[in-house]
Structure 1
């Protein structure tokens, strides 16, 4: 699934912001994960905020910021429902603590992220 950013909303206020270092209006992004609750849909987008590293900083962004360009769904996505939150993503990323491990640069989590990210982008 590919989306195009049409506006940037501040994660803190939810209001339209002039920009963000990791997201640009008009740019296309692969969707790595979709998380929905009763009042919000979030898309995980691979941002590259630190040019000194090769690692993404995959952030969650409000879906209203984007227009869908390609509806192709990656074959590795599975859906889980937990506490009223529906998540569609690779199963490895849905284990408790995965994102904390990734952001803490735990090697197994980084390797799993890189593997599934490449698969998602190839199928987009």
Structure 2
């Protein structure tokens, strides 16, 4: 989950084309449960913005490495995704 300085919120969602996460506007979803997975942390706090998620997602360059299909980053992504699912 990402909140931007504009106040808009985005959710990273695993896509159907190989599981690469894609950011969608939160307004496109109906929230049915307000609880957060236990493995989520505050990853970044900027002026009027905050990111939440598994700790590995907050590492510098993590998403760039995922999109470049770095095998280590993709393994970390899959492990974090499994933990989120287990905590949900």
- Indicate which of 33, 58, 77 corresponds to 2:40: 77
Q: Gaps spanning 5+ residues in structure 1: where?
A: 1-33, 50-54
Give structure 1 regions of 4+ aligned residues with deviation exceeding 2 angstroms: 69-72, 82-85
Q: Output the TM-score relative to the length of structure 1.
A: 0.63
1:62 and 1:108 map into 2 onto residues whose CA distance is 28
Task: Give the secondary-structure state (helix, strand or coil) at the position aligned to 1:68.
Answer: coil
Task: Give the secondary-structure state (helix, strand or coil) at the position aligned to 1:87.
Answer: strand
2:22 and 2:60 map into 1 onto residues whose CA distance is 17
Q: Which has the larger radius of gyration?
A: 1
2:68 and 2:31 map into 1 onto residues whose CA distance is 31
Task: Check if 1:43 corresponds to 2:11.
Answer: yes
Give the structure with the larger helix fraction: 2
Task: Check if 1:121 corresponds to 2:85.
Answer: yes
Q: Gaps spanning 5+ residues in structure 2: where?
A: none
Q: Output the TM-score relative to the length of structure 2.
A: 0.87
Q: CA RMSD, aligned part only? A: 1.4
Count of matched residue positions in the alignment of Structure 1 and Structure 2: 86
